[in-house]
């Protein structure tokens, strides 16, 4: 049997237009040829994002609690942010977000997991990094929903239990926790290079993602 893996496929696009120009992301309408017919779909056109599992020497994960208005919740999450700078690699973005959200830098970076959030409704791709060798950076001035974020160090085992009990539901936290828990059981052998190729993200498809900041 062939290896179990998603298959990249790109149907010919006959039309593409932004039908809603949003504050953070847009809604795009595309027509594409599929099965001998032209289909039309609307989807959120998303720049993608990175998330960071910052681990200390005791395998505790640094989390933040942040208000998320669409779901009316203050969620526990890993530090994360949008890939909204065209010249920035995913690793550079992760380093920036770690400093901006929790005032930390890291000397050791690896890719933990990639995933797409809602393939039927948007093109958002997220890369989760593991960051180790942590050190403090200058305090960052935060505003908006980030102004009153709470921080907490949580053991990976406690976090795993909270995920299975559905007490925490942020997707990057859930997926990252399950991946990190499984990777630790294998001696972290599943971790990948920090600049590993990222075919699910259209900007980085077919090439290593680069790490200009190192």
Query: C-alpha distances in angstroms, 63 versus 75, 80, 205?
Result: 10, 10, 30
Give the pair of three-digit tokens for residue 99. Answer: 């400093």
Q: In this structure, what DSSP letter does residue 188 have? A: T
Is residue 146 annotated as a catalytic residue, yes or no?
A: yes
CA distance 203 to 209: 9
Query: C-alpha distances in angstroms, 176 versus 26, 143, 159?
Result: 27, 26, 10
Given 88, 146, 158, 161, which residue is catalytic? 146
CA distance 147 to 142: 5
- The set of catalytic residues is 146
């Amino acid at each position: 049997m062939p290896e179990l893996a998603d298959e990249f496929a790109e149907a010919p696009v006959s039309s593409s237009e932004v039908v809603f120009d949003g504050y953070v992301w847009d809604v795009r309408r595309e027509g594409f040829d599929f099965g001998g017919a032209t289909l039309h779909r609307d989807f959120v056109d998303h720049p993608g994002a990175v998330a960071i599992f910052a681990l200390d020497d005791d395998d505790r994960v640094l989390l933040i609690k942040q208000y998320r208005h669409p779901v009316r919740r203050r969620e526990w999450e890993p530090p994360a942010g949008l890939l909204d700078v065209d010249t920035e690699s995913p690793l550079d973005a992760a380093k920036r977000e770690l400093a901006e959200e929790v005032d930390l830098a890291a000397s050791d970076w690896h890719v933990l997991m990639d995933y797409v959030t809602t393939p039927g409704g948007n093109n958002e791709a997220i890369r989760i990094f593991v960051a180790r060798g942590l050190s403090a950076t200058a305090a960052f001035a935060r505003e908006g929903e980030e102004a009153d974020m709470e921080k907490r160090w949580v053991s990976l085992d406690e976090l795993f239990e909270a995920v299975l009990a559905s007490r925490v539901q942020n997707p990057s936290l859930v997926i990252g926790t399950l991946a990190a828990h499984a990777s630790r059981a294998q001696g972290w052998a599943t971790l990948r290079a920090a600049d590993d190729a990222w075919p699910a993200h259209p900007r980085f498809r077919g090439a290593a993602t680069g790490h200009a900041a190192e």
